[in-house]
Structure 1
Amino acid sequence: MALTPAQMDRKVDEHFDFEARDDVEGVLATLAPDAEHDIVGYPTGPTVGRDGARGFYETLFADLSDGKVESKRRLYGDGFLVDESIWRGRAPGAPFGFEGRNRPLEFRLLHVFEFTDAGDIARENVWIDFAAIVAQLPPE
């Protein structure tokens, strides 16, 4: 049975809410046990399973704070959702290898989520606007 757009929205919004609270366990619980987690350009490459994604989220939550995701547009298909959004917050650590020095940060994201029939996230593919990050976090 295919998920409705409203069901996909609920799962993605839950996922983003856990991210906003830096709740690693909550974020991981939105993923299927064997989910593929792919942050394009991230040094580990795609990972598989909740434990495979854990390191990314632990690092992310140490490097970024006060984050909020504002979805600008969502497109839906059979078992997938594409979310175009903006992340806003602060960079106290070294997000994606750039020294944050607690500076404010804003960048665009493109997520492609695929879902299991049960409604868990089977695949999360994320494209990040690294040019915006570089422009806001130049070396001093």
Structure 2
Amino acid sequence: MRVVLQRVSQASVTIDQTIVGKINQGFLLLVGICDDDTEADLDYLVKKISQLRVFEDPDGKMNLALAQVDGAILSVSQFTLFASTKKGNRPSFTAAGKPDYAKRLYEQFNQKLAATGIRVATGEFGADMQVALVNDGPVTILFDTKENG
């Protein structure tokens, strides 16, 4: 599983000119799933993301977690995180998870995040989405469960 996390002051996702998900301060997550991802991968990422301390404390140090700043998550599925550009100029997406499996894990991931008490907004799996954000910092962190050791 790969997740690109961006600390944002605001973010939204629009489908067919309708905003379907919107947050203020928090995390925009771009979520990619492959076929060998498991529930253990979900649990690892939920723990890491929900406890990640990248918000400033009163001393200006990145020391606060999302819940401590009353932040939210906007989670957007993005199979292109598994693009391979090794051959030619057109990316291959064969490493991305099969849609039915990836959708199930993506939904389960969002439910687990919400179960931590964090408000979670989402895009729509498989839809053509426009994502708008104001990256705060900028702070961008890449998680890859195959490299979590």
TM-score when scaled to structure 2? 0.25
Task: Using CA pairs under 8 Å that are at least 6 residues apart, name the structure with larger relative contact order, 1 or 2.
Answer: 2
The structure carrying a bigger helix percent of its residues is 1
TM-score when scaled to structure 1? 0.26
